[in-house]
A and B are shown apart, each in its own frame.
Chain A
């Protein structure tokens, strides 16, 4: 994780430079790994490729450089020339991040001609070039010329993405020459374009830069505003490294503003990000930062805590000495403040070996601390030497805080040693530096804030006082009310509870008994229900029953409703306006005539026209309007043209239309009620079928049965059907016996006979005959009628198969026959030809 180490070092380095954030290299910002704009384009072209690029970007965003390299290598294997060039842009970026600038530059130059032909990537390599020049080589001319090329090309090709980045790099370039206002101008142009191109990564980077520029210009509010915008985008975008960087910049602002608490909270947020990636180096860095902040604000114990966390982590991870040095530094200072000089010295000694790795600021700080220790130990001479070195470094770095500390210490040391001349010199210097520090925006800003804050505080306080008084007053009454209500409820609740418990006790025995009974029943039921057959049958029947019953029920309901409404109008108007004679005639007509179930609308119109003509023939003086209404109502009442007597009767009546209406009502009453009757019969049949099916599965003791008697019983049920034309030839040997279940056999015969009757024509013949053998006898049921097609014969015993178009059967009839036959070990055979169908059941004796 090289980059992360670099990153942490940067943070520490920044921190040690105290208030000066002049040379904060935003190296992280140069890494434009995520080209969302471009990826989406490639995603739409080639799903696979798009996904791979997305992955690659994510890796680079998370800093997984080794993995990224691997992936690039893998992808390059089966890649086209243009794809290789695209992947090389990533390689160039990686090289950049690893600070191999020359290599990166050469690579970028190499791939640019190839990329010229790749859409959307045309200016990418040039941009990388620009980036490198901006970051490393401060060659103003080169940067300007590169920028102009990129910008012009970007404009010409309307390549918003690369255009944005060109402006971005130019702005960075200006920033490095401390031209913050101009830099901001370019960044803002970049932001506009990046917003258009939806380049969130670029946008967030630009926003972050603008923030830090404003910080340099001491416009802290604007700085914070922009940095927050950047943070929002980066957090949403999950650009953790960018987010860490933004937090870094934000902290610089907070440090300048002296916002101690916000500083620490931002550091903690950064720590959370580090933990997300198990980047413990970063976590250590954060602990150290927080420690140093706390130390600066004299929270020694807090600082110590953080340093010790950092040290523990560092020990576990066995990291580089650089961090350890910082930690020891911090701990040394803490101990010094706490007065434990020995420990402080010990810590300081652990650093001294690697002193050469310290920066100038750090060296100054080191010597200063050492001097302070020596001072505490009473060794003024040595302390002076160290203090002097500290001063030299501080002046070299020109750090106000360090200088002030150094001068102050020197002044004191000289005071203590009696050298007042030098003491005065240094005191003057200290005073100057302090003034300088005061006059910085930091203090001004702080002061302003203090004033504002105290004003606001006072206002709030006054308002609060009023509020509090009111609150207390209302709270008192409120409390009293609440208490009384609660007590009341409590009392009722206890009473209720008491009654309930008493009841419960009384019922306990009863419920126990009930429970026992129920468990018994339940056990019984479960035993019964365990029978799989029942389940299967119920399931099968339920489906067909639902439909078969609903239809007749629908007809019954509608029929009944319609009858009621008819009766209402009959006894409402018709009866008043019609004579008794007419009433009688209407009902006679209704009884006799069979009303069709329904007539089509077009047929009605046709017949109405015919009726109109007829009526006109009969009576030429009928008025046109009357004619139309008369004809229509007659046709609706199904009065035929042939019923001349009736028609004349109607025409002669004074209340023609009422009379016709009466006839219509009467006919409909009869018809509807017949329908209701038929439907209820159908419903009954359905239920019977179900019962049969269920009975088929119950066991009974085998009994000796006379076959002829058995069939006769069944025939009795159907005797009424053998009146109108249908004839029966019954010739069964009376001496045939079988052991079995008579009821089941009833079902067998009744289903066969019913089928025979239904299939047979009106004047057909049904024959039931028997024949004998040595070891068996057969019963045959034959009916004239339509032949069962050969291909259907094997299917007719399937449950639910039915050629019947009527709604009577559940389709279970023949399957019942088959089942009953099987139970009695009988065989069924069918012969169907020459307009005759014969079912034969063969029983073994």
Chain B
């Protein structure tokens, strides 16, 4: 599969949120250069991505929720970073006081944390910010 496009992976257990995200991303990003994939089961994300993209895409961004059944956003980010070390991770969540998130931010694993309800411009800015 083509790997020179940017891949944006959205993970949230609520499909409505995924709908909103894919709509916003589709509106603001070029089809040629961006592939948006949505998942609502965090456990299988990394495996499925590996099958879809046998060669690691050089530019891969994760946009994830925190509170998800099965695996929470923090663990997902850790797994994701392990599998794709050069990826950038952004978290969108309604939780305000998670020490885990703070931990991730400080370790540099998480690039940005955005609160729900989120601002579309803020999201696009953080995705497009200096690659």
List A residues at the B interface (Cβ < 8 Å): 546-559, 561-562, 565, 597-602, 604-605, 632, 636, 668, 671-672, 675, 678-679, 805, 807
In the complex, how many angstroms separate the beta carbon of A690 from the nearest chain B beta carbon? 16
Give the distance in Å from the alpha carbon of A554 to the alpha carbon of B118 in the complex: 6
In the complex, how many angstroms separate the beta carbon of A208 from the nearest chain B beta carbon? 50
Give the distance in Å from the alpha carbon of A114 to the alpha carbon of B52 in the complex: 73
- Name 12 A/B residue pairs within 8 A (Cβ), A-sorted: A547-B94, A551-B94, A554-B20, A558-B23, A558-B117, A597-B15, A597-B22, A598-B38, A599-B22, A600-B36, A602-B37, A604-B31
| Contact present for A561 and B36 (CB under 8 Å) | no
| Contact present for B94 and A550 (CB under 8 Å) | yes
Residue of A548, A632, A671, A807 touching B19 (CB-CB under 8 A)? A671
Whether B16 sits at the interface, judged by CB under 8 Å, is yes
* Chain A hits for B93, CB < 8 A: 547, 550
In the complex, how many angstroms separate the beta carbon of A268 from the nearest chain B beta carbon? 53
Residue of A550, A554, A602 touching B52 (CB-CB under 8 A)? A602
Whether B69 sits at the interface, judged by CB under 8 Å, is yes
Give the distance in Å from the alpha carbon of A551 to the alpha carbon of B96 in the complex: 13
The contact size tier of chain B is 35 or more
| Contact present for A598 and B22 (CB under 8 Å) | yes
| Contact present for A597 and B19 (CB under 8 Å) | yes
In the complex, how many angstroms separate the beta carbon of A806 from the nearest chain B beta carbon? 9
* Chain A hits for B79, CB < 8 A: none
| CB closest chain-B residue, reference A553 | B117
| CB closest chain-B residue, reference A605 | B35
| Contact present for B14 and A555 (CB under 8 Å) | yes
In the complex, the 7 A-B pairs of residues with the closest C-beta atoms, listed nearest first: A550-B94, A601-B35, A554-B116, A597-B19, A558-B20, A557-B117, A598-B22
Query: Interface digits, B100-131 against A, CB 8 Å rule (1 contact, 0 not)?
Result: 00000000000000011110100000000000
* Chain B hits for A546, CB < 8 A: 94-96
| Contact present for A632 and B120 (CB under 8 Å) | no
In the complex, how many angstroms separate the beta carbon of A236 from the nearest chain B beta carbon? 37
* Known contacts A546-B96, A553-B117, A672-B23: A602-B35 contact under CB 8 Å: yes
Give the distance in Å from the alpha carbon of A554 to the alpha carbon of B17 in the complex: 7
* Known contacts A547-B94, A547-B95: A601-B7 contact under CB 8 Å: yes
| Contact present for B120 and A675 (CB under 8 Å) | no
Whether B44 sits at the interface, judged by CB under 8 Å, is no
* Chain B hits for A552, CB < 8 A: 16
* Chain A hits for B38, CB < 8 A: 598, 600
Whether B45 sits at the interface, judged by CB under 8 Å, is no
Whether B34 sits at the interface, judged by CB under 8 Å, is yes
Whether B46 sits at the interface, judged by CB under 8 Å, is no
| Contact present for B18 and A805 (CB under 8 Å) | no
* Chain A hits for B10, CB < 8 A: 598
In the complex, how many angstroms separate the beta carbon of A792 from the nearest chain B beta carbon? 14
Task: Given A555-B20, A601-B34, output 16 extra A-B contacts at Cβ < 8 Å.
Answer: A547-B95, A551-B17, A557-B118, A558-B21, A558-B117, A561-B120, A565-B27, A597-B22, A598-B18, A598-B21, A598-B23, A600-B35, A601-B36, A636-B26, A636-B31, A679-B16
